């Protein structure tokens, strides 16, 4: 019997920078880059501003899709910003 070849998960999303990352890894990276105060200023959520922790943030973000989208968007912005800062400027 001939079965179709299923693409691996990496082949399904080859250019998705979030693919393979856990929400915990994203929150941890954002906190390391911005700190809790900076994170709360950029995304004003109580899980970032009032007694923040990775565990409480994950609990809230897993139940709240719109907040998770904001966190993922900020993570992508942070990656772009880091790449911009690392690449040499081509301006005269």
Task: Tell me the backbone φ, ψ of residue 23, rounded to 5 degrees.
Answer: -60, -35
Q: What is the pLDDT of residue 77?
A: 95
pTM over 0.85: no
Interatomic CA distance for residues 7 and 63, integer angstroms: 30
Q: What pLDDT was estimated at residue 90?
A: 52
pLDDT for 18 equals 84
Q: Give me the pLDDT at residue 19, please.
A: 85
- Domain range 22-84, its CATH number among 1.10.150.130, 3.10.20.440, 3.40.50.1480, 1.10.720.30: 1.10.720.30
Rounded CA gap, 62 and 50, in Å? 18
Per-residue pLDDT tens digits of the chain, which is 92 residues long: 555 555 555 456 668 888 889 999 999 999 999 999 999 999 999 999 999 999 999 999 999 999 999 999 999 999 999 989 887 765 55
Q: Which class for 10: exposed (0-12), middle (13-18), buried (19 or more C-beta within 10 A)?
A: exposed
The Cα 17–Cα 33 span in angstroms is 17
């Amino acid at each position: 019997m001939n079965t179709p070849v299923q693409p691996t998960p990496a082949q399904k999303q080859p250019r998705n920078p979030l693919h393979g990352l856990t929400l915990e890894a994203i929150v941890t990276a954002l906190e390391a880059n911005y700190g809790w105060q900076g994170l709360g200023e950029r995304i004003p959520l109580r899980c970032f501003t009032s007694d923040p922790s990775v565990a409480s943030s994950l609990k809230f973000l897993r139940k709240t899709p719109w907040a998770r989208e904001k966190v993922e968007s900020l993570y992508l912005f942070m990656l772009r910003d880091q790449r911009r800062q690392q690449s040499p400027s081509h301006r005269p």
